[in-house]
């Protein structure tokens, strides 16, 4: 883990970076005559006011673009060969004077031009259109080759020279278009109303005034096309983009709506769980709906239970209904299918983290890839609607507010009920009811080494050495409720502490200073199910390794903490992670909290200096260019509602969406510190969307490796929005409102005396893509007045256009 000494040392880099020499900017244009809309976005604090930012950031012209500036311009369809290439050693062709660069065909996409032409894995491509392969302006043999193929266009002829073994072959191929599929979007009446009522906004005026509106529409057109693009044709049933979420399609079509989409995704979370209210039913329901599935509400709400015995009966009834649904959801599965899914989740999480990965043979790598394709296809056989609703049924029965009242009023338990078979032991009562094994512990310091369908502990400093409310393959849904005490949860192995693996697992701790220690797939985590961990207060410590603390893959994972100064630590994947088809949420209602992630698994780009985190509000898909296994990401949310908090991570963290994933970090109040490496603090990466929203306080943001703090990278949209306080932003390259590769990046600060330090290519900066002939866009808006300081030649109380593709606007 990242320790305090490392944190403090890196934080000292702020002073070093602040000494960087600024770059001169062009003379700023004058402030346009307009309504003072920039001030309307800061009329109050709290997430409920976020819609007030629309007059500043909205772009209604995306919905009603004039005919001369179409949203999606008429372009020739790109050509698609349909191979996954890899670089290989240069080859020596007969008659050549030297070695020739080559690409090896690693995999061939089903149904593609390459497949029909008979290209095979191990074929080596040495020429395209009678020219040698080269790095090109992209500085990449593969990317330059792919761009040249795309430029030929659908219906065009591509000339390839390749080696098959030692034989030289020439092929002339007629290219197909890039495959597409419909991109459905959700209904957003509130946003539709905003668009309809808006006439002109500050953002639209800026684009129009600076001559950037048409170019901006072209880039949005490119993003919209990616919403329809098929990631892979390898799924055998033809279910292209089977895990793509409608909300992600919407953001690719309306990227400037990211703040309000994030508001809608977090609003019910923050209304359902806070210091005064804890509704598991609503939390789980919000996750299910975010995954484009309907939730079934009970027609009649039951009154609160009269006593703990009634609570248990209701819970038993709900768990039996949930078990029926779970079995129906798995009805199309064989025993081997279920075992294959269980084994596959471990392989998927660790596939490229193990040290011996680079030592696998090509045959082993292809076998692994084929296994993952079959694994996802097997997962599609599960009725996710039913298995997630099964978890919601149990959440409805787990009335946290009633349990807290029962505990505070000193409620008692009477182990006598019609239909119960009861056995009293030294420190617990064992009950058989409705076919379930139920254990009720007394108020002593109990030790639980074995699992049960339901464990309810009435208090005391307890130790849980079991899975602590984890549903695992071959086991029914499980629940643990601990009513108080300073407890220790110590679980080893896979799946623990509120984990749902092909089922539902719940762990509720309603008081005390608790410690949670687990390995992998734990602490509010789900795969094809629902996993929930709830803690009602105290100074708690959460420690786990990989895929934990509010993480979902094809399921809904929730960690909800009501209050106290808490510490969350993990190595990789978690703290609000939504992987493919998944929703992951970490919500903390109060306290001075500390979130740390990383330090264990090196990032391939800088294996000595950098570590991957994939945590703290991350939506994560999978899109390696050299594989047929490509799947869209999910939705990951970290919501901290109050307190002076510290967030520490490295690569991919703190409100980042990658590969059609949505990542949100929402901090509602307090003086906070954010420390990260790269691709962090509001980044959309490769068709992803990421937002870091901080609603108030004097905050510090530091990214030591850059590409952070409001960056859209490779057709993604990323934003960092800070709504008050004296803030400090420090980063390296391509940061603080920057765009690259048809991306859109924004940093917005709406109040205070702020300081912005960036080494280069930032503070309202967009790169131009000469190959695509389109610009990327970066914006830095400081609308709260104050005395602000910038590097890179940006100025206080001025509007500046930067290199034609970015705007810095500091408004008094």
CB-count burial class (<10 Å; 0-12, 13-18, 19+) for 251:
buried
**Across-strand partners of 800?**
808
CB 413 within 8 A of CB 459: no
Q: Are strands 436-441 and 428-433 parallel, antiparallel or unpaired?
A: antiparallel
CB 711 within 8 A of CB 684: yes
CB 283 within 8 A of CB 743: no
Closest among 347, 206, 313, 271 to 778, alpha carbons compared? 206
How far is it, in rounded angstroms, from Cα 63 to Cα 192?
9
Q: Is 146 helix (H, G, I), strand (E, B) or coil?
A: helix
Q: At what angle do helices 246-253 and 258-272 cross, to 10 degrees?
A: 140
Question: For residue 513, what are the contacts with CB-CB under 8 A and spacing of at least 6?
Answer: 486, 538, 539, 540, 564
Helical segments of 476-592, H only:
none
Question: For residue 338, what are the contacts with CB-CB under 8 A and spacing of at least 6?
Answer: 330, 473, 474, 502
Sequence-ordered strand ranges (E) for 641-773: 646-648, 651-653, 656-658, 662-667, 673-680, 683-685, 689-694, 700-708, 711-713, 717-722, 728-735, 738-740, 744-749, 755-762, 765-766, 768-769
3-state helix, strand, coil in the chain (%, to 5): 25, 30, 45
List the end-to-end C-alpha distance of the chain, in Å, as a whole number. Answer: 43
How far is it, in rounded angstroms, from Cα 217 to Cα 61?
9
Please work out, in degrees rounded to the nearest 5, the angle formed at the alpha carbon of residue 417 by the alpha carbons of 415 and 419: 125
Closest among 661, 613, 660 to 637, alpha carbons compared? 661
The pLDDT value recorded for residue 784 is 83
How far is it, in rounded angstroms, from Cα 568 to Cα 482?
20
Q: Is 257 helix (H, G, I), strand (E, B) or coil?
A: helix
* Alpha carbons within 13 A on the beta-carbon side of 476: 21
The pLDDT value recorded for residue 10 is 35
Distance of CA 591 to CAs 401, 538, 588, 783, Å? 20, 9, 8, 29
Structure tokens that stand for 495 in this block? 């799946």
The pLDDT value recorded for residue 36 is 33
- Structural domains of the chain, ranges and CATH numbers in brackets: 79-177 (2.30.42.10), 332-373 (no CATH)
**Across-strand partners of 631?**
622
* Alpha carbons within 13 A on the beta-carbon side of 808: 27
Structure tokens that stand for 69 in this block? 């500036």
How far is it, in rounded angstroms, from Cα 421 to Cα 425?
13
How far is it, in rounded angstroms, from Cα 347 to Cα 447?
33
Per DSSP, the residues of 348-405 read HHHTTTSGGGGGS-HHHHHHHHHHHHHHHHHHTTS-HHHHHHHHHHHHHH--HHHHHH
How far is it, in rounded angstroms, from Cα 615 to Cα 548?
10
How far is it, in rounded angstroms, from Cα 710 to Cα 416?
60
Q: How far is CA 761 from the centre of its chain?
A: 26
Q: Which residue has the tokens 């034609």?
A: 804
CB 205 within 8 A of CB 34: yes
How far is it, in rounded angstroms, from Cα 510 to Cα 538?
9
How far is it, in rounded angstroms, from Cα 758 to Cα 20?
8
Distance of CA 325 to CAs 312, 382, 435, 478, Å? 20, 11, 16, 15
How far is it, in rounded angstroms, from Cα 726 to Cα 109?
52
**Across-strand partners of 612?**
651
How far is it, in rounded angstroms, from Cα 378 to Cα 372?
10
Sequence-ordered strand ranges (E) for 129-166: 131-132, 157-164
CB 651 within 8 A of CB 610: yes
Structure tokens that stand for 611 in this block? 């570590």
CB 446 within 8 A of CB 487: no
CB 411 within 8 A of CB 307: yes
Query: Could you give phi then psi for residue 79, rounded to 5 degrees?
Result: -80, 155
Neighbours of 5 (CB within 10 A): 8
Question: For residue 322, what are the contacts with CB-CB under 8 A and spacing of at least 6?
Answer: 390, 391, 393, 394, 477, 504
Q: What is the pLDDT of residues 6-65, one digit of tens each?
A: 334 333 333 333 323 333 333 333 333 333 333 332 223 334 467 888 889 988 766 544
Averages of pLDDT over each 10 residues, the chain, 812 residues: 38 33 35 33 40 86 48 65 92 80 93 95 93 88 90 93 92 94 94 85 91 90 93 80 95 96 95 94 96 79 90 97 96 92 85 56 81 92 96 96 94 92 95 97 96 97 98 86 98 95 97 97 97 96 97 98 97 97 98 96 82 97 84 97 98 98 97 98 97 96 97 96 96 96 95 96 89 83 93 94 90 88
Q: What is the pLDDT of residues 610-633, one digit of tens each?
A: 999 999 999 999 987 778 889 999
Neighbours of 136 (CB within 10 A): 14
Neighbours of 167 (CB within 10 A): 7
Per DSSP, the residues of 711-734 read EEESS-EEEEEE-SS--EEEEEEE
CB 51 within 8 A of CB 193: no
């Amino acid at each position: 883990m990242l320790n305090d000494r490392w944190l403090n040392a890196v934080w000292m880099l702020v002073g070093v970076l602040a000494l960087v020499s600024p770059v001169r900017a062009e003379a700023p244009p004058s402030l346009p005559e307009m309504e003072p809309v920039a001030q309307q976005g800061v009329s109050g604090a709290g997430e409920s006011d976020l819609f007030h930012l629309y007059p500043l950031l909205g772009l209604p012209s995306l919905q009603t673009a004039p005919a001369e500036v179409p949203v999606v311009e008429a372009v020739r369809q790109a050509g698609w060969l349909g191979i996954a290439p890899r670089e290989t050693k240069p080859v020596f062709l007969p008659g050549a004077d030297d070695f020739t660069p080559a690409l090896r065909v690693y995999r061939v996409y089903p149904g593609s031009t390459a497949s029909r032409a008979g290209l095979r894995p191990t074929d080596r491509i040495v020429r395209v259109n009678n020219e040698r392969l080269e790095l090109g302006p992209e500085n990449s043999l593969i990317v330059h080759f792919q761009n040249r193929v795309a430029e030929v266009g659908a219906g065009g002829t591509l000339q390839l020279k390749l080696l098959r073994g030692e034989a030289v072959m020439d092929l002339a191929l007629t290219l197909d278009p890039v495959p597409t599929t419909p991109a459905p979007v959700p209904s957003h009446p509130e946003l539709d109303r905003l668009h309809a009522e808006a006439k002109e906004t500050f953002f639209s005026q800026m684009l129009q005034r600076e001559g950037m509106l048409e170019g901006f529409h072209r880039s949005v057109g490119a993003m919209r096309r990616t919403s329809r693009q098929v990631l892979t044709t390898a799924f055998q049933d033809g279910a292209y983009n089977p895990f793509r979420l409608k909300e992600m399609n919407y953001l690719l079509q309306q990227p400037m709506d990211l703040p309000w989409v994030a508001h809608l995704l977090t609003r019910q979370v923050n209304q359902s769980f806070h210091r005064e209210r804890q509704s598991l039913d609503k939390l789980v329901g919000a996750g299910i709906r975010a995954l484009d599935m309907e939730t079934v509400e009970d027609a009649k709400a039951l009154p609160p239970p009269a006593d703990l015995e009634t609570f248990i009966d209701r819970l038993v009834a709900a768990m039996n209904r949930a078990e029926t649904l779970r079995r129906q959801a798995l009805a199309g599965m064989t025993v081997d299918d279920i075992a294959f899914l269980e084994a596959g989740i471990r392989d998927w999480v660790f596939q490229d983290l193990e040290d011996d990965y680079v030592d696998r043979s090509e045959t082993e790598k292809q076998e692994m890839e084929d296994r993952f394709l079959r694994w996802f296809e097997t997962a599609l056989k599960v009725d996710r609607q039913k298995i997630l609703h099964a978890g919601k049924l149990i959440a409805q029965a787990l009335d946290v507010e009633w349990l807290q009242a029962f505990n505070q009023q000193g409620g008692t338990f009477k182990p006598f009920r019609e239909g119960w078979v009861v056995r009293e032991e030294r420190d617990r009562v064992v009950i058989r009811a409705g076919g379930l094994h139920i254990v009720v512990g007394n108020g002593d310091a109990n030790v639980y080494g074995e699992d049960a369908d339901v464990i309810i502990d009435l208090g005391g400093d307890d130790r849980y050495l079991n899975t602590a409310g984890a549903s695992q393959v071959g086991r029914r849904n499980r629940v643990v409720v601990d009513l108080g005490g300073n407890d220790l949860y110590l679980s080893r192995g896979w799946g623990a502490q509120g984990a749902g693996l092909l089922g539902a697992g719940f762990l509720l701790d309603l008081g005390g200073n608790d410690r949670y220690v687990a390995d992998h797939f734990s602490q509010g985590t789900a795969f094809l199910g629902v996993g929930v961990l709830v803690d009602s207060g105290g100074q708690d410590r959460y420690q786990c390794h990989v895929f934990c603390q509010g993480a979902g893959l094809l399921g809904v994972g929730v960690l909800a903490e009501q209050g106290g100064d808490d510490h969350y630590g993990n190595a990789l994947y978690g703290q609000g992670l939504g992987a493919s088809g998944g929703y992951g949420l970490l919500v903390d209602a109060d306290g001075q909290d500390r979130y740390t992630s990383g330090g264990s698994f090196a990032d391939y780009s800088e294996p000595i200096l950098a570590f991957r985190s994939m945590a703290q509000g991350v939506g994560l898909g999978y899109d390696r260019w050299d594989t047929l296994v490509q799947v869209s990401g999910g939705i990951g949310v970290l919501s901290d509602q109050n307190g002076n908090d510290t967030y520490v991570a490295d690569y991919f963290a703190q409100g980042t969406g990658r590969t059609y994933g949505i990542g949100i970090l929402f901090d509602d109040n307090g003086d906070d510190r954010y420390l990260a490496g790269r691709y962090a603090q509001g980044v959309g990466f490769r068709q992803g969307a990421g937002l870091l929203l901080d609603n108030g306080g004097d905050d510090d943001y530091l990214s030591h490796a850059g590409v952070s703090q409001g960056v859209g990278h490779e057709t993604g949209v990323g934003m960092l929005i800070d709504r008050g306080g004296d803030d400090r932003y420090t980063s390296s390259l391509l940061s603080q409102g920057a765009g690259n590769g048809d991306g859109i990046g924004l940093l917005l600060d709406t109040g205070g005396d702020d300081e912005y330090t960036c080494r280069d290519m930032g503070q309202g900066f967009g790169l131009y893509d000469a190959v695509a002939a389109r610009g990327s866009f970066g914006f830095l808006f400081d609308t709260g007045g104050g005395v602000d300081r910038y590097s890179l030649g940006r100025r206080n109380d001025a509007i500046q256009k930067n290199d034609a593709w970015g705007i810095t606007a500091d408004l008094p």
